[in-house]
Amino acid sequence: SAVISQKPSRDICQRGTSLTIQCQVDSQVTMMFWYRQQPGQSLTLIATANQGSEATYESGFVIDKFPISRPNLTFSTLTVSNMSPEDSSIYLCSVEVPVQETQYFGPGTRLLVL
């Protein structure tokens, strides 16, 4: 498996501000994923981040709102820009472990926007 950490674990932010969430994994991985889990909902994929290329966004998510960086094979960041209360969610990163054909998830970042 992979050990994944996220920072911050939770935050309370004011509307109109931006928050950058960090995801660190303990081994080199090719693909990392960012998900959103809105209150009481399931997980929705925001984007896929491959090292060395632009992130690929899912329908309904745009780079201006959720810019992603992937500077190396163990790290990625997701920024939630110009936040509104509707952005209050849990944001999770995951990594793929090809040998195990499985995604492993970080503990999540709980964001509340006031």
Partner 1 sequence: AQSVTQLDSHVSVSEGTPVLLRCNYSSSYSPSLFWYVQHPNKGLQLLLKYTSAATLVKGINGFEAEFKKSETSFHLTKPSAHMSDAAEYFCVVSDTGYQKVTFGTGTKLQVIP
**By the criterion CB under 8 A, which residues form the site for partner 1?**
1, 31, 41-45, 48, 92, 94, 96, 101-108, 110
For residues 60 and 64, which CB has a smaller minimum distance to partner 1 in the complex?
A: 60
Phi, psi of 11 (to 5 degrees): -160, 155
For residues 80 and 92, which CB has a smaller minimum distance to partner 1 in the complex?
A: 92
For the chain, the residue count is 114
Please report how close the Cβ of residue 37 comes to partner 1 at its closest, in angstroms.
Answer: 9
Buried b or exposed e, range 11-20, using 16+ CB within 10 angstroms: eebeeeeebe
For residues 17 and 44, which CB has a smaller minimum distance to partner 1 in the complex?
A: 44
Please report how close the Cβ of residue 40 comes to partner 1 at its closest, in angstroms.
Answer: 9
Please report how close the Cβ of residue 101 comes to partner 1 at its closest, in angstroms.
Answer: 5
To which residue do tokens 């960086």 refer? Answer: 69
For residues 31 and 73, which CB has a smaller minimum distance to partner 1 in the complex?
A: 31
Please report how close the Cβ of residue 57 comes to partner 1 at its closest, in angstroms.
Answer: 13
Helices and strands counted in the chain (H then E): 0, 11
CA angle centred on 96, ends 12 and 32, rounded to 5°: 45
